[in-house]
Amino acid sequence: MIGSLVRRIWSFVFLALFLLCYSGIQAQNLTQTTTVTLEEVSLEASKLDTPRNVLPFSLSVINLVEAQAMHQQLSLQEYLGAVPGLFSLNANNYAQDLRISIRGFGSRAAFGIRGIKIIVDGIPETTPDGQGQVDNLPVGLLESIEVLRGPSSSLYGNASGGVLYLNTLDALKGEAVRFRTTLGAFGLQSYQLSASFKSIKTTSLFYYNRTKTNGFRAFSSLEQNVFNAKVKHELTSKASLQLQLNYTNSPRAVDAGGLTMNEVLVDRKQARQRNIDYDTYEKINQFKTGLRWLQNISSQWKLDTYAFYSFRDFYGKLPFENGGIIDLYRNYYGLGSRLTYVDKKENFLHRWQIGSETALQSDQRDRFLNQNGIQGNNVFSQEERFASLGFYILDELQFNKWLFRTSLRFDHQSLGADTISENQYYNVLNPSIGFSYAVAKQQNLFFNFSTSFETPALSELSANPSGAEGLNLDLNPSRALNYEVGWKAISSQTKFEVTGFYIKSSNEILPYELEAFPGRSFYQNSGATVRYGIELFGEAQWNQWKLQASLTQASYLFDLEKDNFSELQGNRLPGIPNSQAFLQFEYSTLNNLQFQLTIEHIGKFYANSSNTTEIDAYQRVRFQARKGINFSWGQMDVFTGIHNLFDTMYFDNIRLNAFGSRFYEPAPGRNFYGGISFGF
């Protein structure tokens, strides 16, 4: 029965993609005799003002302006399902944060995001050592998301197996103040207040969000407060300054822990007893401020410069005694600048850019005894440092039907701790080259070769299996080579993309657990991997209808025949499904009523590197609706949604290679939310 359902879903998505492709080609053929004005949308993630349809690599764009008001706005996962090659877990364990992987990069993360660069409004969120979190993200302010789906170290340096570029609103649309409240299952309460101010030269937006929930499982509650400010000021007709500020206070996010399958079968909602005994939770205070200066020097020259500072005060409890309480204080700051030149001539366009970025990170890490939830003696204390300095050059030529793009980046990195005598240094050079060719009007073929590298994060280096202070310098950076070929057909009403990729990596880093430290992750290099697959995406709009569909079919395999882990040769990488399908219908009426139906299929994958524990494929369906009502004083929105419409039993997170087979964190069944917002 399940297999039949999966086949029907795949057939339906294939049919949708075929119809999208056919309608797109028909529309493009029409343009041979009909004048159609197509707006060229430039993108931030590519670093040059190059239209999406001619970029020689795969980049997904998620525009949230139309549908944002329908969303629950609790997790970034709500917005990412349509992106082929991207897989996310852990939307309901608020103590571990969302885990995101792109073509396998980031899949090793025991918590947070690894191997993927996160940028918010032009300023890095990811630390120099490659750690990223989105627990401080003002989800309700998101305007668009750009996803660069492939190794991008020639542009962004360390830990850039993919890029998430997040853009937030500059101002409320047609409103000065907006209040929104959301109530939902498991005691969810969310309250948002936004205020926008505008003068001749200055635009500002202030946002506050308070969220509380009991969580689906026992012992999985969250309490969080987020404040965000964004101010843009026009210095002159050619220069602007943008200030952003974010403060996040999360006094308690509780971790219910992983379960064995027997425990899941007894009670999906239960917490692991050991987590209750050791009172496992985290609390966070995080502050970030950044300044971005944009200067148009002339019609050909443009300067973009940023500087930022961030601190993160983290306190967390883990379910074991020795070192089971972590107290981390992080300072993180940096700056970057890039100079762009554009030369436009008839049938010829030349763009190039040079840039530099530097960032410094200092983590004061202390571990204490966790004596059944009570803090004991300090058993580990060290200051860890990571610094990076990068220079890159990017060159792009466009003439007739061709576009050629090359980039080269050099990064110098150093890491160390006050408990070791010498620093570790890495000097890395990363190139990329790509081209696209217009085979027809609004249709392009492209090819791209790129590289990436990823150093171990400080939290991974400090997870020393010996339990001693210092860093586990036996852990080495991983490297990857990426080859991409694809076809894009993008018009004013349809988009269709087909991409094939092949990635070869070395020194892959994977987590594991030890019996003496249950619930704590350690890391080791497990040799080489090979990843290859095909990604399809389609989108069409007609009248009040919008349809999106995507497919991913890929293989992520260990390639360890000549390594110390040869017993894993040919096994699949854990934590990543080989197949994914996404289908979404959206309908908007003329009287401001919206509906959205989303269907996702996640293929089977494995919980451990030995591939002895298989996670079954599953499907989940979401329905959302919104009704806008206009009044003389402003607008009121009423919205509602149902997650997991058919009450599918699946897992929200899988703890990779967990000791004692405690892999499973069950996902919620069918659950509802609803709310109301007022704009003045």
Per-residue pLDDT band for 563 (boundaries 50, 70, 90) equals: low
Q: According to the model, what pLDDT value does residue 337 have?
A: 98
pLDDT at site 11: 52
Residue 421 pLDDT level (bands cut at 50, 70, 90) = confident
pLDDT recorded at residue 274? 95
Q: With 80 as the cut, is the pLDDT of residue 437 above it? A: yes
Mean per-residue pLDDT, 275-281: 97
Minimum mean pLDDT among 34-43, 263-272, 427-436, 582-591: which range?
34-43
Tokens of 479: 């490297």
Helix (H) or strand (E) holding 621: strand 618-631
pLDDT band at 346; cut points 50, 70, 90: confident
Say if residue 546's pLDDT is above 90. yes
pLDDT at 158 over 60: yes
pLDDT for 203-223, tens place per residue? 999 999 999 999 999 999 999
Identity of the highest mean pLDDT range in 187-191, 472-476, 590-594:
187-191
> In DSSP terms, which residues pair with 502 in a beta bridge?
483, 532
Q: Quick check: 520 pLDDT over 90?
A: no
Among 28-42, 242-256, 391-405, 553-567, which is the least confidently predicted range? Answer: 28-42
pLDDT 10s digits, 361-373:
999 999 999 999 9
586-599 tens-digit pLDDT: 999 988 999 999 99
Q: Is the pLDDT of residue 119 over 80?
A: yes
Round the average pLDDT of the chain to a whole number and report it. Answer: 90
User: Can you tell me the distance from the alpha carbon of 155 to that of 166, in angstroms, rounded to the nearest whole number?
Assistant: 17
Query: Does residue 581 register a pLDDT over 80?
Result: yes
Question: Which residues fall within 8 angstroms of residue 410, CB to CB, at 6 or more apart?
Answer: 390, 391, 392, 427, 428, 429
Least confident stretch, 83-87, 134-138, 252-256: 134-138
Two tokens at 499? Answer: 């991409």
Q: How many CA atoms lie within 13 A of 414 on its CB side?
A: 8
The confidence band for 65, taking pLDDT boundaries of 50, 70 and 90, is: confident
Predicted pLDDT at 358: 98
What's the pLDDT score for residue 568? 79
Round the CA-based radius of gyration of the chain to a whole number and report it.
24
Q: How many CB atoms lie within 10 A of CB 444?
A: 25
DSSP state of 42: B
Residue 462, amino acid: S
Q: Each residue of 297-329: pLDDT tens digit?
A: 999 999 999 999 999 999 999 999 989 999 999
Structural domain including 354 reads 2-679
Relative to beta strand 117-120, strand 163-168 is: parallel
Percent of the chain clearing pLDDT 90 (strictly above) = 77
Structure confidence at residue 347 (pLDDT): 84
List of residues 6+ apart from 126 with CB closer than 8 A = 113, 116, 117, 118, 119, 132, 159
Q: What is the CATH number of the domain that holds 334?
A: 2.40.170.20
Q: What is the pTM of this model?
A: 0.92
- Domains held by the chain: number: 1
**CA proximity to 518, closest of 382, 265, 323:** 323
Long-range CB contacts for residues 665-669, cutoff 8 Å, separation at least 24: 665/90, 665/92, 665/93, 665/217, 665/256, 665/257, 665/258, 665/259, 666/216, 666/217, 666/259, 666/264, 666/268, 666/269, 667/92, 667/216, 668/92, 668/185, 668/186, 668/216, 668/643, 668/644, 669/644
- Range 524-545 average pLDDT: 92
Provide, rounded to the nearest whole percent, the portion of the chain with pLDDT above 70: 92
Instruction: Locate 252 and state its tokens.
Output: 């308690």
Q: Which helix (H) or strand (E) holds 264?
A: helix 261-266
For residue 619, name the pLDDT band (cuts at 50, 70, 90). Answer: very high
Residue 434: per-residue pLDDT: 97
Of residues 59 and 11, more confidence is placed in: 59
Per-residue pLDDT at 559: 86
Q: What is the mean pLDDT of residues 518-538?
A: 86
The span from the CA of 546 to the CA of 67, in Å, is 11
Decide: 107 and 101 in contact? Cβ < 8 Å: yes
Cα distance between residue 361 and residue 308, in whole Å: 12
pLDDT score, position 330: 96
Residue 418 CB partners (closer than 8 Å, separation 6+): 382, 383
Token pair of 348, please?
């010829």
